């Protein structure tokens, strides 16, 4: 018995590739079957006819992609794009200082990191709902404002693009903080000392040394915020109302009430297209950064 085991192990030990694939096999199979294949099917559906009772009917067509180019839907796409970009920008503006402060915090680092990470792990649904509690007409913010006498009537905070933006920034801020923190933490403080010895004062040290060296983190964080923001569905659904529809809601609609699966699939892949472009841009920037 031990002999057989030894022989089996020797066989695998001498073929590192076979051993690796044996380990990867099950997980890879699961991911292929339940991730890659569904996406492929989704893509296939986007090119097929809409079935009479929902679902699809055989036949190749580009009508769904063409339909997406209708101004009605392009408006939604445009809105999705600008909200995603605005979210990314705001997260960057707010997240960078937080990451910077944590990186310099010394003893408090781990505690602060935990504080940033906690909301990140709390259910997105719960956090979005918490925003409703704050922003509704009879919500906390309005109650405080009315109570302090700063306003005479409740402000329309909910069901506006602003609410969606606030909800997205609140939701994705940790995604921006963590990569930037990782970049800053790796910064060799000796570089700042060297810059100071060469005559650079604090602002110059930041703009000319710290910021450029933290750009990989900035790029990664931006990507981690931009992509989910593009595909946002829950936030505009609960906080945006009918006026602030994003592509995510459009897709959900097609698979729900509208029962137009191929169109939903086409929108999904148009969205994926933008995601891929964003990924390529990020990869280009990263490789250029490394080559420099």
Q: Which of 85, 94, 195, 215 binds other proteins (CB under 8 A)?
A: 94
Q: Helices 215-230 and 261-291, interaxial angle, to 10°? A: 180
- Residues numbered 162-191 forming contacts with other proteins, rule: CB under 8 A: 170, 173-174, 189
Q: Which of 251, 260, 263, 266 binds other proteins (CB under 8 A)?
A: 251
- Residues numbered 63-92 forming contacts with other proteins, rule: CB under 8 A: none
Q: Which of 140, 191, 194, 277 binds other proteins (CB under 8 A)?
A: 140
**Residue with smaller CB distance to other proteins, 147 or 199:** 147
39 near other proteins, judged by CB under 8 A: yes
Sign of torsion, CA 116 119 120 122? positive
20 near other proteins, judged by CB under 8 A: yes
26 near other proteins, judged by CB under 8 A: yes
151 near other proteins, judged by CB under 8 A: no
Task: Count the residues of the shown chain that bind other proteins, applying the rule CB under 8 A.
Answer: 86
Nearest approach, Cβ of residue 160 and other proteins (Å): 17
Nearest approach, Cβ of residue 15 and other proteins (Å): 9
Q: In angstroms, how far apart are the furthest CA atoms of the chain? A: 86
Q: Which of 69, 75, 82, 97 binds other proteins (CB under 8 A)?
A: 97
Q: Which of 131, 165, 209, 220 binds other proteins (CB under 8 A)?
A: 131
Q: Taking the CA of residue 234 as centre, how many other CA atoms within 13 Å lie in the half-sphere pointing to its CB?
A: 15
Centroid of chain to Cα 127: 16
d(CA 242, CA 257): 15
Q: Which of 76, 98, 158, 178 binds other proteins (CB under 8 A)?
A: 98
Nearest approach, Cβ of residue 288 and other proteins (Å): 18
Q: Angle at the Cα of 231 (from 226 to 236), degrees rounded to 5?
A: 105
**Residue with smaller CB distance to other proteins, 81 or 94:** 94
261 near other proteins, judged by CB under 8 A: yes
d(CA 98, CA 34): 38
**Residue with smaller CB distance to other proteins, 28 or 204:** 28
159 near other proteins, judged by CB under 8 A: no
24 near other proteins, judged by CB under 8 A: yes
Query: Which contiguous run of DSSP H or E holds residue 113?
Result: helix 109-121
Q: Can you read off the two tokens belonging to residue 46? A: 């986007």
Query: Which contiguous run of DSSP H or E holds residue 222?
Result: helix 215-230
- Residues numbered 101-130 forming contacts with other proteins, rule: CB under 8 A: 101, 104, 106, 110, 112, 114-119, 121-127, 129-130
Q: What is the SS3 assignment for 148?
A: coil
Q: What is the SS3 assignment for 275?
A: helix
Nearest approach, Cβ of residue 281 and other proteins (Å): 14
d(CA 83, CA 76): 10
DSSP state of 179: H
DSSP assignment string, 119-133:
HHHS-HHHHHHHHHH
**Residue with smaller CB distance to other proteins, 161 or 177:** 177
194 near other proteins, judged by CB under 8 A: no
Q: In this structure, are residues 120 and 146 in contact, taking their beta carbons and an 8 Å threshold?
A: no
């Amino acid at each position: 018995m031990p002999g057989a085991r030894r022989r089996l192990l020797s066989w695998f030990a001498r073929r590192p590739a076979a051993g690796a694939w044996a380990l990867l096999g099950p997980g890879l199979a699961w991911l292929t079957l339940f991730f890659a294949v569904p996406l492929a099917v989704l893509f296939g559906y986007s090119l097929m006819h809409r079935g009479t009772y929902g679902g699809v009917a055989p036949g190749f067509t580009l009508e769904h992609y063409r339909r997406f180019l209708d101004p009605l839907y392009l408006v939604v796409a445009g809105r999705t794009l600008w909200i995603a970009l605005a979210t990314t920008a705001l997260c960057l503006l707010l997240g960078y200082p937080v990451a910077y402060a944590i990186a310099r915090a010394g003893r408090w680092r781990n505690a602060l990191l935990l504080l940033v990470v906690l909301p990140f792990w709390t259910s997105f649904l719960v956090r979005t709902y918490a925003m409703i509690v704050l922003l509704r007409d009879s919500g906390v913010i309005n109650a405080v404002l009315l109570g302090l006498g700063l306003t005479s009537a409740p402000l329309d905070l909910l069901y506006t693009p602003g609410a969606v933006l606030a909800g997205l920034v609140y939701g994705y801020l940790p995604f921006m903080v963590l990569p930037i923190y990782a970049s800053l933490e790796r910064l060799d403080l000796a570089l700042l000392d060297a810059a100071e010895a060469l005559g650079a004062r604090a602002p110059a040290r930041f703009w000319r040394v710290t910021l450029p060296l933290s750009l990989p983190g900035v790029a990664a964080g931006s990507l981690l915020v931009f992509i989910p923001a593009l595909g946002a569905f829950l936030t505009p659904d609960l906080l945006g109302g009918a006026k602030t529809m994003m592509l995510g809601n459009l897709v959900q609609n097609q698979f729900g009430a509208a029962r137009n699966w191929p169109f939903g699939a086409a929108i999904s892949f148009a969205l994926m297209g933008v995601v891929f472009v964003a990924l390529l841009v990020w990869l280009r920037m990263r490789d250029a950064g490394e080559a420099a």
